[in-house]
Structure 1
Amino acid sequence: FKNLKPKEYRAIADCLELMDDSVDRLSKSVQEMKNLGRVKSRDFLFHINNVQTWASTALTNGNTCLDGFADKSMNGKVKDSVTAQVANVVQVTSNALGLFNQFANNNRH
């Protein structure tokens, strides 16, 4: 994107940082889920809580990114492009967290 306003540049930079953190947290969540079948019963809740915490943080990061584009002075093209992609990530993350929470509720030892 050319000719970004300082607000737009900051919002994009913040979004990139937030999404990078989200990728790390979701990657850790996936690894933690892979290990759930091998953990002892007493450790199961600890690992469940890790996944829920990390996925929730990724969801919050996505919403925080979207909030950065709430200013009406933002360029329509930049705002539309970034928010469409991030909104999709937020929706998928929310769905995944909902499914995992259902799994967690059904499998608490």
Structure 2
Amino acid sequence: MLRWIALVLLVILIGLQLKLWAGSGGMHEVRGLRAAVQKQTGENDRLLQRNQALAADVSDLKHGEQAVEARARAELGLIKPGETFYQVVERPAGSASASAPPTGDGGGH
């Protein structure tokens, strides 16, 4: 009789272990859910930082003329009355040697 009880308990234990490791809601699914939660937490942190930066920009634009002026200068090319605008255009690296004066070694003497 004791052997039958031990055998039934062993079968129940094996069945529970199978359900725990391979069944629905088992360890495999828990690992997948933990990975998904970790990934979503990272995404939430990234979006939170972006939202904080945007909120700071909005606050600056609402409360300070300097921020509005700086953005207008950078994005729209604002020039105040009395200011002189200078634009410096750098030559590309390849065209600098093409526009150099000749060296004088192609002479006829």
Classify the TM-score, shorter chain: 0.3 to 0.5
TM norm structure 1: 0.33
Larger radius of gyration: 2
TM norm structure 2: 0.33
Relative to total residues, which structure has the larger helix share, 1 or 2? 1
Which protein, 1 or 2, shows the higher relative CO under an 8 Å CA cutoff with sep ≥ 6? 1
